[in-house]
Amino acid sequence: MRLISSALCTTVAVALLAGCSGNMSQTTPSVPGSTGQTQSRYEHGKFIPHWSYPASVVPHLGAQPRYREVLQRFAKRHGNNGGIYASEFYGTSMYGYQHVNTANNPPTCSVGPVSYVNGQAVDGKGNLIDPDGGTRSVIVFSGPGMCGSEAGSISDGYGQPSDASSADAVNGTIAVGNIFDTSGAGSVSVCTLSGGCTANLTNPNMYEVAGVAMDNSGNCWASATNSAGTATLTYFAGCTGSGTAATGYVNTYYGGLDIDKNGNLVAISAFDSNVYVYSGCNPACTLVGGPFALHGEAVFGHLNKQSMTLCTGDFVNGEMDVAYYSPSAVTYWYSFNNGLSSSLEPEGCSYNPRSAQ
């Protein structure tokens, strides 16, 4: 993910997070509207990546019978109403694909224009949320069908939006993760389409924010690093207040967050290609499963409605990776890249409908 700053650190491999930590100098984000801004994307910073994926990837198209049967029934029942959204950081559109795309078919629709999108998400009503880094705004596209018209947009005056979560983005509250806000640290903006962004949640553990999640009860979590570069998870009861550092959180790196149908928090650990599953985290976390190896490096990803598959944006291989998901196992299934460009850095992936939580 890239941040709006007056200068950027050199991207390591295919960078993911904005800003670089460690012994590299960190620039302070510019206030919206200032000159010389560049959009920031997540960069790896001081950490040394461990490449574990094969150089040549051949998707495995065979599905376990139970998964295949359920997913095929779902696709038949929902038709064009369901699918997968994929986005690229340097792209100007977000693309809609069929729900099961083992044949690597091209997108069926698109929405835009968008700019410098890091994470993106679908809410509980099927609306697509674009934390639009280029315009410092949050744009909502209508659901429940794929690639609906724009329902509205609001300015995020607190920082550069990089991820978002909401049960109902059109009528309810949207939690917006800012990789950095205008003070120079990461934050979570609390917004509505009707009232704009009216609160900015900060915590000393949140120096650089990656993912954000909001459950159906309105509680929020932010995945971040502190000023020392250590991965942290911060819990905001009711998405208000100063937040509490979660205990028992063992991710190596920060990354995207999601909530499965059992209420478990699914936390991606960027740059080491792992995902962890936790219960609780309010604020005490209990590790349910993981670390589970992903197919390729990813910062963001989301579950489908049944919490049976997990799609992640594989920015290294320039594709979307789909895995079978359960709290006790994450197993690679297939990848697709038709219509995506590796040079535009594919990064965001979400299902419509999303996890039922």
pTM, to two decimals: 0.83
Q: Return the closest-CA partner of residue 298 out of 44, 36, 68.
A: 44
Q: Which domain holds residue 327?
A: 63-352
DSSP annotation string for 182-247: TTSS-EEEEEETTTEEEEEE--TT-SEEEEEEE-TTS-EEEEEE-TTS-EEEEEEGGG-SS-EEPB
Instruction: Quote the CA–CA distance of 242 and 221 in Å, as a whole number.
Output: 12
- Residue 143 CB contacts under 8 Å (≥ 6 apart), including other chains: 122, 123, 125, 126, 127, 128, 352
Identify which of 113, 48, 105, 51 has the alpha carbon closest to the alpha carbon of residue 87. 113
Whether 127 is in a domain gets the answer yes
Q: Is the residue at 28 inside a domain?
A: no
Distance CA(124)–CA(164), nearest Å, equals: 13
CATH of the domain at 222: 2.120.10.30
The answer to whether 149 and 141 are in contact (CB under 8 A) is yes
Q: Which residue positions in the chain have pLDDT lower than 70?
A: 1-39, 42-81
Nearest to 137 by CA among 121, 154, 120: 154
Number of domains comprising the chain: 1
Decide if 100 is inside a domain. Answer: yes
146 lies in some domain: yes
| Residues 63-76 as b or e (16 or more Cβ within 10 Å = b) | beeebeeebeebee
In a domain, 191, yes or no: yes
Q: Which of 153, 172, 159, 173 is nearest to 111 (CA)?
A: 153
Per residue in 314-347, pLDDT tens?
A: 999 999 999 999 999 999 999 999 999 999 999 9
Kindly state whether residue 179 falls inside one of the protein's structural domains: yes
Confirm whether 251 is domain-assigned.
yes
Tell me: the pLDDT tens digits for 212-268?
Answer: 999 999 999 999 999 999 999 999 999 999 999 999 999 999 999 999 999 999 999
* pLDDT the model gives residue 207: 97
Candidates 190, 194, 157; CA nearest to 176 is 190
User: Is 12 a domain residue?
Assistant: no
